[in-house]
Amino acid sequence: MLLRGIRGYSKLKQMWEEIKIPVPWGHIAGKWWGPQDRRPILVLHGWQDNCGSFDRLIPLLKPELGYLAIDFPGHGLSSKLPLGVSYYWSDYIVFLRRVVQYFNWPKVSLLGHSISGTIAYNYATLYPKAVDFLIAIEGLRPLTDLLNITELGVNVDRFIKYDHLLSLDQEGPSYPYNELERRLHADSAKSISLETCKYVLERNIARSTTKPDEFYFTRDLRLKLLPFLEYAGDVTKMTDKFTCPTLLCLGTVVTKKFELLTQTHEFYNVLKKINPKFEIHTVEGTHHVHLNNPEPVAELINPFIERYDVEDWSI
């Protein structure tokens, strides 16, 4: 049974239904767009974003299909992980698997942005017969080498500090709304335009109880730190398992903050040799091209879905 609720102060036109998926530490929140009588495409956001980052893209996609865009734990309206627990990249594969098993889907179709393109790739190599197709936007690679080991000691101390602050159960610093937009724009290396910040902020902030005209960030403080551990070993070891049809969309603006996720062209060449249904396209825009410039992204995704929408998705 889906637990449903509506965001109280939303000013955006609603074309979706808010859902909650129960998990042992609370719930995973999400937006279900379109019909619910058939298996949807599962939509996954980038690190420190939330499912609101797809609010401009999903309405442009094939309307006869459903799209379930979730907030990962600690993001958006999903529950934070328990105190004392840190975030690990491999956990995100577990979170994804929990959603699939909750709905008892025999297969899943995935659309992921940034780190979620990478999470989806790794899921597809672990469960190659359980993925119809994969659409990745600005991120597709193994879960390796995503952590600067020289910063590990500093980040451990920061984790303990943030864990303590969360235990106090207090509001964080509050700001006027336009200041939050400016901060999000700057923190994304200006990848999220000021005009589209509202789509991410909608699920990342709450109104201050002491300063009614100001807001504070509600996402987990621990998300300021990249997860501690990744996979190790030969990055090409699992590529022979990667056989599902895959579309990769890359923005034209390369930013140092995100290049580790996107500038892996040697790896893409390996995938091309192994998977004849792997295709790459470039779209004018930044790392958040699907949010700032969704029309050309949708023009690539819709025909891709038409080619590979061959399964009976009735549920």
- Residues with catalytic annotation? 114
**CA dist 177 → 106, 198, 206, 211, 238 (Å):** 43, 9, 10, 12, 45
* Residue 40 DSSP class: P
Q: For residue 97, which of 77, 71, 123, 116 has the smallest C-alpha distance? A: 123
Contact 283, 250 (CB under 8 A): yes
Sheet holding 3-4, edge to edge: 3-4, 16-23, 26-33, 67-70, 41-44, 108-113, 131-137, 246-251, 278-283
Q: For residue 60, which of 305, 314, 307 has the smallest C-alpha distance? A: 305
Give Cα 54 distance to the centre of its chain: 9
Residue 183 CA to residue 165 CA, distance in Å, equals 21
